[in-house]
Chains A and B, each alone.
Chain A
Amino acid sequence: MSDPIIICSDVCIAYGRQEVLHGVNLEIPRGAFLPFTGANGSGKTTLLRAVLGLLPIRHGTLQTPFNKNPAGYVPQHRVIDPLYPVSVKQIVEMGLYPERKWFRPLTVQQKKLVIDALEQLDMAEHMKKNFRELSGGMKQKVLIARALVCQPEVIIMDEPTSELDEESETEVLNHLLQLNRDHGKTVLMVHHDLELAKKLSDIVCKVGRGNAQIININGGQTDA
């Protein structure tokens, strides 16, 4: 197995006094496609939010490469309020924020990055459309393009297909697999369907009973 890109050592995460996860030890391999599965309320999203730095950890250490290279974060598409009159292109441009200078327009190279990210997901022809006019699957693909535009090593997704129909779900998951296989991106995603997760990857991170462990689908435990 390749070197770990994210290391959790004895991590404890709590909401107020209530500990959701404790003593979590994980080594997430570089280039892995890792679905996080578990029952509702088991702490899947909590763990990924902590990895992203959106939730503080109570104790333990969490090593990520996100200080140098921010993660490509893909939330559920309903996070973007349809009230916002923003185009697909503007949503994707948001991903370039860390590299942009105050008041400066996008450089030619940055514009190309935006188009490339949209093209990877077959969304370039919709770049001038308003985000709210798109279907759920298309919105999700735009958010994946936003995550890709800053060329992250790791892409983290919170139930990216939860509100999509079967066809859109397959399409989005195929794109993610392609990103993982062809571009070597490490993909972490919360997914409630263990059976589907097993079809996508050889390993899954099972979250439950206040802990998380990476399990080999073939039966072995790869990391405790």
Chain B
Amino acid sequence: MHDAMACLYCQFPEALTAGLLISAICALLGVFVILKRAVFIGITLSEVAACGVAASFLLGIPPFAGSLVLVLGAVSLLALPFENQRIPRDTLMGILFIAATALTILLVCKSGTGLMEVNAVLYGDLILASTKELKILFGILTPALILFLAILRPTLYTFMDREGAKVLGIKTWVWETIYFLMLGVIISAASQIAGAMLIFCYLVVCPAAALVASKRIWVVLTIAPLLSMLATFIGMVVSFNFDLPTNQTICMSCCILFGITALASLTYRQFMPVSQQA
């Protein structure tokens, strides 16, 4: 294990560091994406970010700038009140998802780049992460992580019982807006390296495994990033040793880890008396 890690780190230090960083932060935020029953927002924002990266190719601007503008636009649109509208928020997410997916392909085609670039935009390639991209990631993800930890409690209360939180004087719209803006910024920053599929995987699969594994919120918030980092590391080692595409291997690693956790949890609940279950 140690040798594999050392070897991987020697050859792809940026890829390993970027992978672990993105996986940990996305998994942490993903717990709230699942609890809010807004899983579709993960894939929608990931696709919108990919679309922003594709638009950046065409316009010749930095990819992060392109994806950030589009993702923040999408977040603002989704933040509109939908309570009394004729269509639910999910439907708008679906429309955004379709538009972003189609537009990404169209933009990449128009930019005169080849199939490899299309694949890179849609699926990303963690192994190709550069030092510059890693610096940008660090610059964005580290303050985002600190901010998220700082607002954890009011965000939890806001998501869990919006009106109850309001009555207690919690500015629910502030925390909700900060959370979704932060999600947008993190997805934008990570999208060029990780790609839409891997980001969505980090937002959903490992947090789901943590939620299956524990019924304590603080435990869930602790093990979701750890499981995500473990799956990333295993995926990268397997990819490195068997010459497989990195991102897809990590996704499979996350899914297998989820399967193992779910099975273990089911077995534990089946055979342990209710009084002794953690």
B211, CB-defined interface residue at 8 Å:
yes
The residue of chain B having its C-beta at the shortest distance from the C-beta of A52 within the complex is B167
Q: Taking the nearest CB of chain B, how far is it from the CB of A126, in angstroms? A: 12
Question: When the two chains form their complex, are residues A75 and B168 in contact, meaning their CB atoms are under 8 A apart?
Answer: no
Q: Taking the nearest CB of chain B, how far is it from the CB of A138, in angstroms? A: 15
Within 8 A of B (CB), among A82-139: 83-87, 90, 94-95, 97-98, 100, 102-103, 130
Within 8 A of B (CB), among A6-57: 15-16, 49, 52-54
Dominant secondary structure at the A interface: loop
B214, CB-defined interface residue at 8 Å:
yes
The residue of chain B having its C-beta at the shortest distance from the C-beta of A100 within the complex is B153
Question: When the two chains form their complex, are residues B35 and A71 in contact, meaning their CB atoms are under 8 A apart?
Answer: no
Q: Taking the nearest CB of chain B, how far is it from the CB of A149, in angstroms? A: 11
Question: When the two chains form their complex, are residues B170 and A97 in contact, meaning their CB atoms are under 8 A apart?
Answer: yes
Contact of B168 among A81, A83, A97 (CB under 8 A): A97
Interface size of B in residues (CB-CB distance below 8 Å): 24
A70, CB-defined interface residue at 8 Å:
yes
Q: Taking the nearest CB of chain A, how far is it from the CB of B204, in angstroms? A: 14
- Say whether, besides A70-B167, A71-B167, A97-B168, A130 and B161 are in contact (CB < 8 Å): no
Q: A123 vs B18: C-alpha distance in the bound complex, in angstroms?
A: 47
Contact of A94 among B34, B164, B220 (CB under 8 A): B164
A224, CB-defined interface residue at 8 Å:
no
B95, CB-defined interface residue at 8 Å:
no
Q: A8 vs B81: C-alpha distance in the bound complex, in angstroms?
A: 28
Question: When the two chains form their complex, are residues B169 and A130 in contact, meaning their CB atoms are under 8 A apart?
Answer: no
Name the interface size band of chain A. 20 to 34
What mask results when residues 65 to 79 of chain A are scored 1 for a CB within 8 Å of chain B, else 0?
010001101010001
Which residues does chain A contribute within 8 Å of B86, judged by CB atoms?
Answer: none
B7, CB-defined interface residue at 8 Å:
no
Q: A17 vs B263: C-alpha distance in the bound complex, in angstroms?
A: 54
A214, CB-defined interface residue at 8 Å:
no
Q: A95 vs B168: C-alpha distance in the bound complex, in angstroms?
A: 7
A217, CB-defined interface residue at 8 Å:
no
The residue of chain B having its C-beta at the shortest distance from the C-beta of A97 within the complex is B168
A207, CB-defined interface residue at 8 Å:
no
Q: Taking the nearest CB of chain B, how far is it from the CB of A26, in angstroms? A: 19
Contact of B164 among A49, A73, A83, A90 (CB under 8 A): A73
Question: When the two chains form their complex, are residues B168 and A54 in contact, meaning their CB atoms are under 8 A apart?
Answer: no
Q: A150 vs B150: C-alpha distance in the bound complex, in angstroms?
A: 23
Q: A90 vs B157: C-alpha distance in the bound complex, in angstroms?
A: 10
Which residues does chain A contribute within 8 Å of B35, judged by CB atoms?
Answer: 81, 83-84
The residue of chain B having its C-beta at the shortest distance from the C-beta of A95 within the complex is B168
- Say whether, besides A16-B84, A80-B160, A73 and B217 are in contact (CB < 8 Å): no
Q: A109 vs B170: C-alpha distance in the bound complex, in angstroms?
A: 22
B269, CB-defined interface residue at 8 Å:
no
B90, CB-defined interface residue at 8 Å:
no
Question: When the two chains form their complex, are residues B215 and A75 in contact, meaning their CB atoms are under 8 A apart?
Answer: no
The residue of chain B having its C-beta at the shortest distance from the C-beta of A87 within the complex is B216
Q: Taking the nearest CB of chain B, how far is it from the CB of A10, in angstroms? A: 24
Question: When the two chains form their complex, are residues A75 and B163 in contact, meaning their CB atoms are under 8 A apart?
Answer: yes
Q: A125 vs B94: C-alpha distance in the bound complex, in angstroms?
A: 46
Q: A193 vs B165: C-alpha distance in the bound complex, in angstroms?
A: 28
Which residues does chain A contribute within 8 Å of B216, judged by CB atoms?
Answer: 85, 87
Contact of B163 among A66, A70, A79 (CB under 8 A): A79
Known: A81-B37, A97-B153, A103-B150. 9 other contacts (CB 8 A): A15-B84, A52-B167, A53-B167, A73-B164, A83-B37, A84-B35, A94-B165, A97-B154, A102-B150
Nearest 6 A/B pairs, CB to CB = A73-B167, A85-B215, A130-B215, A97-B168, A85-B217, A84-B160
6 contacts between A and B (CB under 8 A): A70-B168, A75-B164, A79-B164, A81-B160, A94-B164, A103-B150
